[in-house]
Amino acid sequence: MAILIKGGTVVTAEGERRADVLIEGERIAAVGPALDTPAGARVIDAGGAYVMPGGIDPHTHMELPFMGTTTSEDFFTGTSAAVAGGTTTIIDFAIPNPGQSLLEAYRSWRGWAEKAVADYTFHVAVTWWSEKVGEEMGVLCRDHGVNSFKHFMAYKGAIMADDEVLVNSFRRAAELGALCTVHAENGELVVQLQRQIYESGVTGPEGHPQSRPPMVEGEAAHRATRLAEALNVPVYIVHNSCIEALDAITRARLAGQIVFGEVLAQHLVIDDSVYYQRDWNAAAHYVMSPPFRSKEHQAALWRGLQAGMLHTTATDHCCFCTEQKRMGFGDFRKIPNGTGGVEDRMAVLWTHGVRTGKLSPSEFVAATSTNAARIFNLYPHKGTISAGADADVVIWDPDGTRIISKDTHHQNIDFNIYEGMSCTGIPAVTLSRGRVVWQNGQLDVVRGAGRYVDRPCFAPFWASQNTRNVSRKPVKVER
Ligand code: URQ
Ligand code: ZN
Ligand code: ZN
């Protein structure tokens, strides 16, 4: 049955216009003013609303085994919460333990994700190095639609990538035409500073931000851009939280490098005062890395987003319930790192970004959907409203309101980092590949309806064209 979305204002990263959207099956069939209503079509009135591409969250961790436990959100509940918030595609992470086959880890995550209600795809982490890792990176690109490899510069003793891993993996990714993404914190510095802080007698959640100050992130972000420059590979820095990381990206981009930056919705609106609450549980709820920062960093991150030095917004949705957080009671180093928000990202960004004049509706669409689609090669199947695109659509009510609360969210976690936040601008209807999955405040999802999305490498473009870095042809002296 066709669906005709009538009377709305279509918003893409390029602009906005009054237009109807005709959906046939899983695809958008036509976009234009005053489209005819096909016989038998379902008509959805979008008068007074925006019609936007479904959100793409390029950074989630459903069912992640981490720090001795596993995130409380699985791919069914997590993608259900996502569509309730207007996000129709997630890019999650397959993270092998050091020594584990990348393909084996990828297959595990593929299995867990089969219960998803909306579309998904995976970055694959490189947590160790051998010839076999290099070979498997090639197989993942060639046969499994993986075009991005993640590197954790933090988490020493667990999944941290040292320089040997970074250099070998970056070089291999350049050969493959794949993108390198990094969690930029100096893992060695973190361990040293954690020990100092803990041994000084600070054992509570307030020790977490003190052991990961902005320069720990800025140093790693700078180093990641330099390694990428030396190895001629594009790099995407995830969850930039501070001025120092933003400066590293800005420097590299102004030098002509292909560098992209991601910012989390929560880092744009929550500051580090949360760690100094007297209630241990309440403070521990906010333990994630990089940590929440003081207010001047948020202002800089908003400016980075406006200036095009930060390109995507994400959530790093990595949920640990209060009891799991209490694994670190008495030692902040053992509090499982992560916070949620996959359901709240778009409403938070609309309320604090568009309604405050920081972002236009088009810039909102770029930051919540289109830029991620372009960077990770999902565009134009995802990330736009145009004929031929997947019918991942959110009908956005700019005047709708919602008070964010654990009591009403759909996320499988017993608290919400935005608890009590009043949002104006909410999804009225969400469609995933042409099926209404959220309407009138109700989910109508089908377990397993989500599909894995292939993301081809950019080899033809980046490998040949990426000469922006100074090319270093070896020089031989004839003697
Ligand atoms: O570092 C990440 O991105 C994962 C392990 C989620 N946890 C976090 O604190 N950001
Ligand atoms: Zn991270
Ligand atoms: Zn993450």
Q: In this predicted model, what pLDDT tens digit does every residue of 118-155 receive, in sequence order?
A: 999 999 999 999 999 999 999 999 999 999 999 999 99
Q: Which H or E run contains 30?
A: strand 27-32
- Ligand 1 contact via 183 beta carbon (within 6 Å): yes
Q: Which atom of ligand 1 is nearest to the CA of 66?
A: 5
- Ligand 1 contact via 146 beta carbon (within 6 Å): no
Q: Atom 3 (ligand 1): residue with closest C-alpha? A: 316
Greatest CA separation for the chain: 82
- Ligand 1 contact via 314 beta carbon (within 6 Å): no
Average pLDDT of span 92-101: 98
CA distances from 342 to 102, 225, 313, 319, 457 (A): 26, 28, 11, 10, 26
- Ligand 1 contact via 317 beta carbon (within 6 Å): no
- Ligand 1 contact via 315 beta carbon (within 6 Å): no
pLDDT attached to residue 459:
60
Q: Contact 449/117 with Cβ under 8 angstroms?
A: yes
What type of residue sits at position 385?
Answer: I
Q: Of 98-102, 197-201, 380-384, 458-462, which range is least confident?
A: 458-462
CA distances from 217 to 233, 242, 276, 289, 473 (A): 20, 8, 21, 10, 32
Residue 130 CB neighbour total at 10 angstroms: 11
**Which ligand lies nearest to the CA atom of residue 58 in the structure?**
3
Average pLDDT of span 286-313: 98
**Residue from 89, 94, 12, 5 nearest 46 by CA:** 5
**Residue from 464, 469, 463, 474 nearest 171 by CA:** 463
Q: Which residues pair with 93 in a beta bridge?
A: 123
pLDDT in tens, 338-355: 999 999 999 999 999 999
Residue 144 CA to residue 434 CA, distance in Å, equals 25
- Per-residue pLDDT band for 460 (boundaries 50, 70, 90) equals very low
Q: Contact 430/436 with Cβ under 8 angstroms?
A: yes
Average pLDDT of span 281-295: 98
- Ligand 1 contact via 316 beta carbon (within 6 Å): yes
Average pLDDT of span 360-382: 98
Percent of the chain residues past pLDDT 90, beyond the cut? 96
CA distances from 283 to 39, 275, 329, 450 (A): 56, 5, 11, 35
pLDDT attached to residue 458:
83
pLDDT in tens, 198-225: 999 999 999 999 999 999 999 999 999 9
pLDDT attached to residue 473:
74
Q: Which residues contact 304 (CB under 8 A, 6 or more apart)?
A: 240, 246, 249, 250, 261, 263, 310
Q: Which atom of ligand 1 is nearest to the CA of 337?
A: 9
- Domain spanning 54-375 has what CATH number? 3.20.20.140
**Residue from 446, 416, 440 nearest 426 by CA:** 440
Spell out the domain ranges in the chain: 54-375
- Per-residue pLDDT band for 229 (boundaries 50, 70, 90) equals very high
Q: Which H or E run contains 228?
A: helix 214-230
Residue 133 CA to residue 102 CA, distance in Å, equals 7
pLDDT attached to residue 303:
98
Average pLDDT of span 180-194: 98
Average pLDDT of span 377-384: 98
Structure tokens at 107: 């297959």
Whether 462 shows a pLDDT value over 60: the answer reads no
For a pocket test of ligand 1, which of 93, 267, 318, 334 has the largest count of ligand atoms closer than 8 A to its C-beta?
318
Q: Which residues pair with 43 in a beta bridge?
A: 4
What type of residue sits at position 337?
Answer: N
Q: Which atom of ligand 1 is nearest to the CA of 318?
A: 6
Pairing of strands 259-264, 148-152: unpaired
State how far Cα 280 lies from the chain centre.
28
Whether 467 shows a pLDDT value over 60: the answer reads no
CA-based end-to-end distance of the chain: 77
pTM recorded for the entire structure:
0.97
- Ligand 3 is a single-atom ion; what residues have CB below 5 A from it? 316
